[in-house]
């Protein structure tokens, strides 16, 4: 198994479980540790992140790539541009 596959398993399985456990147990220290791990992991490489790159927005780590994926699924795909700071700024420029 390559390092990219290990990173994806950590990112998509391990981190969410531990983060939610920290939330459930009110363990801020666990949640903070998970967020710092996200900042240490490299950005994901997928079609979503490639689309953001084409728009001039680059993710420097997994924390940022997860945020961009979240924005796409919660705002872009639902056409809620005006509720998103990035979408609002883009629309104001045009």
* Angstrom distance (rounded) from CA 45 to CA 26: 32
pLDDT at 66: 95
Q: What is the pTM of this model?
A: 0.81
pLDDT tens profile 18-39: 999 999 999 999 999 999 999 9
Q: Which two tokens stand for residue 71?
A: 């924005």
Low-confidence ranges of the chain (pLDDT < 70): 1
Residues 6+ apart with CB under 8 A from 78: none
3-state secondary structure of 56: coil
């Amino acid at each position: 198994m390559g390092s990219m596959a290990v990173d994806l398993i950590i990112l998509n399985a391990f981190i969410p479980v531990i983060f939610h456990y920290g939330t459930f147990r009110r363990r801020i220290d666990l949640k903070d540790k998970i967020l710092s791990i996200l900042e240490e992991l490299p950005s994901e490489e997928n079609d979503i992140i490639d689309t953001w790159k084409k728009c001039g927005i680059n993710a420097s780590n997994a924390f940022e790539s997860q945020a961009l994926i979240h924005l796409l699924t919660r705002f872009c795909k639902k056409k809620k541009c005006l509720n998103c700071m990035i979408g609002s700024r883009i629309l104001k420029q045009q």
